[in-house]
Amino acid sequence: MKQIIHIAGRELSTFFDSLTAYVLIVIFLGFSGFFTWIYGADVFFVGQANLNTFFTVAYWSLFIFIPALTMRSIAGELKSGTLELLLTKPVSDWQLILGKFLSTFLLIVIALAPTVIYYFTLWAIGPVDHSAILLGYMGLLLMSMVYISIGLLASCVASNPIIASLVALSVGIFFHIIFDVLAANFVGFLGSFFSYLSLSTHFESISRGVVDSKDLIYFFSIAFLCLFTSKMILSNRNL
Amino acid sequence: MDIVVERLTKRYGPQKAVDNVSFRVKAGEVLGFLGPNGAGKTTTMKAIACYIKPEEGDILVGGYSIHEHPEIIKKNIGYLAENNPLYQEMNIIDFLEFIAKIHGIPKYLIPERILDMIRTCGLEGEKHKLIGELSKGYQQRVGLAQALIHDPDILILDEPTTGLDPNQIVEIRELIKRIGKEKTVILSSHILAEVEATCDRILIINNGRIVVDGTAAELRKQAQGNEILKLGVQGGNIDAIFESLFEIETIDSIDLLDSDKQLFEVQSLPSTSSVKAIFDTCVRKNYYITELTPTETKLEDIFRVLTLH
C-alpha cells in the first residue's frame, strides 16, 4: 500500500510540476462554471435548485480530459525507459498500475473539489436535494474510475502516448454514447444488453438519486477488468 | 549474497538473446561482463534485476529465485540500467527521496542517506538542479546514487562509464572498486582495460553463450599458449643468425620482422621456453642481443579471437 502511495504521490507532483494539473483544473472549472451559471440551460434558466447542468458538463469534459491525463502513464514510462527504473525497485506490477490509477483519480478529485462551492451557492438560493447532488458527485467519480482504467489499459497497449490517448477516447466513446445509440435501435435482449453496457444509463440512474447494486457492479467490474488486463500486459512484457 | 545463474535462456521471437547460460558470482566478487553489441549482456543483467522473465532457467540471488521472490531480490539489488533512465523533470533531491521511499528506508534515515549519496557520487554542486538540466556525466552519477541509496548487497551496472569524460571514468572506476570491496558487483563494458582495472573475474559472452570465464591473467595465459619473443641479434650475417637460431630444438618458427635491424619473431614449441638457448647460442657464436621482449597478447586480441566467430 505504501508503494502505491509513493508512486501516486510522485505522479501527482509531476502533474502539478508540468502545469498539466493547473491547465486541467482551470479549463474544467471555467467550462463547468460557464455552463452552470452563465450560459444556455443554466441554473437560473432552469429555475430549479439542482446541479444537473453541471453534472452533464462534467460528464463530457472528464470524458475528454481523462485520456489526456492517462496517456503517458505507462507508455511515457516505457518510452523514456523509467519503467525499467521503477520495476527493478521493490515495486510489483499491481502496485505500479494502482499507483498510476490513484494519482489520476486524486487529480480528478482535486479538480472536482472547488465545485462544491456551486452546491453551497445553490443551497443559499433554494431548496436543494442534498442526496441527489451527493450521488451526482459519486456518479462522476465512478465514471472517472472507469475512464481512468480504460486510459491506463490503452497506455499499456500502445507504446506511443498520443496513440494511447486516441485508443482510450475511441474505446471510451462506445461506453459514452455508442452503446446508448445502439440500445435505442435494438429491442429485446440486444437492446437491454447494449443499454446495460452504456455508461450513460448507469450514470443517469445514479445521478437521478437511485443507487442500485447493478450500477455499482457495472462501474467496478469494468474498472477491475481494465486494470487487471493492464497488469497482465505489463507482466507479460518482453522488453 | 551469491548469484547463481542456471541455464538461462531468453528469446525475442525466434532469436535467442541468451542461450543456456550458467555462471556463479560469489559474494564480494567483482565480475566483469564483456561481449560485443547484442551478445546478451544486457538481457542477462535485466533478468538478474527481475525486469524480464527468462523462458527457461532460473537465477538464484542469495538463495531466492527470481520466479518466486522477485520482491526480496529487488530489495537487495542496486541496478543501473544501460541508458540510465531517470525522471528528467524531477530535481536530484526529490528523485533520490522518491527512490529511498520506494525502497522502504525509514523516514528519519532518508535525509542522511541522500546527503551521503550526494557526497559519495560528487553531486554537491548540482543537488538542486533538475535532472534534465544535468550533463550526461552527472546524470550517470545520479544513476549510481539511486542504485546505491539503499546500501544493497549486490550492484548491477550496465555500462556505467559510457558517455563520461576520462576524469569521470577514473572517478567512477575508483568508486566501483571501493564499493566492490564490500559488495557483489556485476559490471558490463565494451572497454577491456576498464574491466581489467576493476574486476576480479571476467566473463565473455558471445551470441548468447559464455566463451570465457576466468581472471584477466588466466585469460591471457589461455590465449597466449606458446611463448612468443621479439628478438634482435647483431654481430653476424643475418642468414647465419637465422640458421643458428633454427638449430635450437625448442623453437617452432622464426619470422623476420626487420632485416636492417635484424629483428625476429621467435615462437617456441608449446610449453617450452627458448630464452636460455637463444642466449647460449649467441654467446657461442659471438653475437650480441639488442632486444629480447616477450610479446604479450593483448586482451583486445583475445576478445577479437573469441568473439569473431
User: Left, alpha or beta for B7 (phi > 0: left; psi -120 to 50: alpha)?
Assistant: left
CA-to-CA dists, residue B268 to B273, B276, B277, B278, angstroms: 6, 12, 11, 11
Domain residue ranges in chain A: 2-235
Report all structural domains of chain B as residue ranges with CATH numbers, in order of start.
3-214 (3.40.50.300), 225-302 (3.30.70.100)
- Grouping H, G, I as helix, E, B as strand and the rest as coil, residue B173 is helix
Please provide the DSSP assignment of B205-254 as one string: EETTEEEEEE-HHHHHHHHH-S-EEEEEEESS-HHHHHHHHHT-TTEEEE
Q: What's the gap in Å between the CA of B63 and the closest CA on chain A?
A: 17
What is the residue-level pLDDT of chain B in tens, covering all 309 positions?
888 888 888 888 888 888 888 888 888 888 888 888 778 888 889 999 988 888 888 898 888 888 888 888 988 899 998 888 999 888 899 999 999 999 989 999 999 999 988 988 888 888 888 889 988 888 888 998 999 899 888 999 998 887 778 887 888 888 888 888 888 899 888 777 778 878 888 888 888 788 888 887 777 766 666 778 888 888 888 888 888 888 888 888 888 888 888 888 888 887 778 888 888 888 888 888 888 888 766 667 777 777 776
Measured between CA atoms, the residue of chain B closest to residue A8 is: B98
CB contacts of A80 in chain B (<8 Å) are 85, 88
Cell numbers at residue B191, please? 572497454
Long-range Cβ contacts of A222-226 (<8 Å, 24+ apart): A222/A146, A222/A149, A222/A150, A222/A175, A223/A145, A223/A146, A223/A148, A223/A149, A224/A149, A225/A149, A226/A146, A226/A149, A226/A150, A226/A152, A226/A153
Question: Measured between beta carbons, which residues in chain A are less than 8 angstroms from residue B152?
Answer: none
Mutate to test the interface with A, among B102, B105, B144 (most CBs of A within 10 A): B102
Q: What is the mean pLDDT of chain B?
A: 85
CB distance A18–B89 less than 8 Å?
yes
Inter-chain CB proximity B102 and A7 less than 8 Å: yes
**Chain A contacts of B86, Cβ < 8 Å?**
82, 85
Residue B130 grid cell: 533538475
A81 contacts on B by Cβ (under 8 Å): 81, 83, 85
Residues in Cβ contact with A198 at an 8 Å cutoff, skipping those fewer than 6 apart:
A175, A177, A179, A180, A183
Length of chain A: 239
Residue B101, chain A, CB below 8 Å: the answer is: yes
pLDDT digits (tens, 9 = 90+) for A98-121: 999 999 999 999 999 999 988 888
The answer to whether residues A218 and A202 touch, using CB atoms and an 8 Å cutoff, is yes
Residues of A in contact with B46 (CB under 8 A): 84, 239
Answer for the pair B147, B155: CB distance below 8 angstroms, yes or no. Answer: yes
Q: Which of A14, A18, A90 sits opposite B103 (nearest CB)?
A: A90
CA pair distance B18, B39, nearest whole angstrom: 8
Q: Is the minimum CB–CB distance between B46 and chain A shorter than 8 Å?
A: yes
Q: Are the Cβ atoms of A80 and B102 closer than 8 angstroms?
A: no
Spatial CA neighbour of B94 closest among B56, B142, B43: B142
Interface predicted TM-score (ipTM): 0.87
Residue A68 Cα, gap to closest chain B Cα (Å) = 18
Distance between CA atoms of residues B287 and B240, nearest Å: 10
| Among the partner residues A10, A81, A88, nearest to B79 by beta-carbon distance | A88
Residues of B in contact with A238 (CB under 8 A): 12, 52
Interface of A with B (CB under 8 A): 2-3, 6-7, 10, 13-14, 17-18, 80-92, 237-239
